[in-house]
Amino acid sequence: MICDFTKNYDYLVVGAGFFGAAFARIMTDAGKTCLVIDKRNHIGGNAYTEQVDGIEVHKYGAHIFHTSNEEVWGFANRFAKFNDFVNTPLAFFKGKYFNLPFNMNTFRELWGVETAEEAKAKIASQTIDVAEPKNLEEQALKLVGRDVYETLIKGYTEKQWGRDAKDLPAFIIKRVPFRFDFNNNYFNDKYQGVPVGGFTAMIEKMLDGIDVRLGVDFAELKVYADKIARKTVYSGMIDEYYDFCFGHLKYRTLRFETERVEVKRYQRSAVVNYTERAIPYTRIIDHKQFEFGNQDYSIITKEYPAEWGEGTIPYYPINDDENNGLYAKYRAKADEEPRVLFGGRLGAYSYLDMDKVVLMAMNLAKKELSE
């Protein structure tokens, strides 16, 4: 039998990632009943981590929790103790390392400059004056000039999107944050860190006492959904929920290659971006550095961007006019169906960091509890 869900719940929560888990926790604490399902055989969604040889491996790419929102930080700290990890990624281009985000260390590595005035003058001398950039290349040259663009942006972005920068829309780069101090901390947020013991343990604690079924695709239950629960909270793909009736939303995906290497310190930083187009991967992650591991070996993951298709994970929505228009159609359809509530990064068809997804779950829960 496909469905042996005999209990009636207030909410059937589809997706055991940050969104579904946070929503289920808040509603359970408020006295509501929730059943959380996930089609994967694990909780945590894309933030899932797994122990391999004593190292927490970020199975779907490097995840660092960061936020400036006090309520979100307070909530997250109920389920984990965060370590003091600060994200200071590096870029590697033609044999040289560059600090990220773009700051005075980067400009010194590029041009040997020491002061903000020198760096600003160098950038100004290289930017181009175009009112309406026609493509990503023009937009980048307008914002950052040739050296930063060619060394740190062009190859990486082309790999990420699988197309030449001249064939990519300008909107992909809205602005480029420059810092004219020597601060390599990637995030501007007040709080950041990695949960001690991994993200999976954190989500496990969040779901403590809540009914969870793994390896269950909502598609198998859709016809019974209103018998299982009063409402469905859906953090899967909104177009899939509606059987792609208006067409498919587009995404980019990633392929990960993970290996154990018998080296104590594989690379200089937990995350190194490879900005040359000739190198097929965009990043290498050295997992043990997220938890200051001191093992004699390392577990590393190479991240390869790829075209998304059936059977692959939709990581990055392609928010161009065409897809945003399509999403608006699905949203309008969703608004006509108040017993299904969409959320999370796939429900919102938007790239969202974990803290934003938690905030979204908090807001939805508040709304539900006020009704």
Q: How far is the CB of 241 from ligand FAD (least distance, A)?
A: 8
The reply to whether 40 belongs to the active site is no
DSSP string over 206-226: HTTTSEEEES--HHHHGGGHH
DSSP 347: H
Q: How far is the CB of 98 from ligand FAD (least distance, A)?
A: 20
* Stretch near ligand FAD under the rule CB under 6 A, chosen from 15-23, 103-111, 112-120, 172-180: 15-23
The reply to whether 351 belongs to the active site is yes
Length of the chain: 371
The reply to whether 175 belongs to the active site is yes
* Stretch near ligand FAD under the rule CB under 6 A, chosen from 58-66, 146-154, 171-179, 329-337: 58-66
Strand, coil or helix: what is 93?
A: strand
The reply to whether 303 belongs to the active site is yes
Can residue 155 be called a binding residue for ligand FAD (CB under 6 A)?
no
Q: How far is the CB of 139 from ligand FAD (least distance, A)?
A: 23
Q: Positive or negative, the Cα torsion across 189, 194, 196, 199?
A: positive
Instruction: Give residues 228-267 in contact with ligand FAD (rule: CB under 6 A).
Output: 235-236, 254
CA distance 220 to 49: 27
* Residue number closest to ligand FAD, CB atom: 45
Write down the catalytic residue from 149, 150, 179, 234: 179
CA distance 309 to 40: 17
CB 212 within 8 A of CB 16: yes
Instruction: Give residues 187-226 in contact with ligand FAD (rule: CB under 6 A).
Output: 217-219
Can residue 345 be called a binding residue for ligand FAD (CB under 6 A)?
yes
Instruction: Select 45 or 198, whichever has its Cβ closest to ligand FAD.
Output: 45
Strand, coil or helix: what is 234?
A: strand
Here the contacts of 321-327 (C-beta below 8 Å, separation 24 or greater) are: 323/249, 323/250, 323/349, 324/349, 326/239, 326/246, 326/247, 326/249, 327/238, 327/249
Strand, coil or helix: what is 279?
A: coil
The position carrying tokens 């299904």 is 340
The reply to whether 25 belongs to the active site is no
**Annotated catalytic sites, by residue?**
175, 179, 252, 283, 303, 351, 353
Instruction: Give the residues lining the site for ligand FAD (CB under 6 A).
Output: 14-20, 37-40, 45-47, 61-65, 217-219, 235-236, 254, 315, 344-345, 352-355, 357
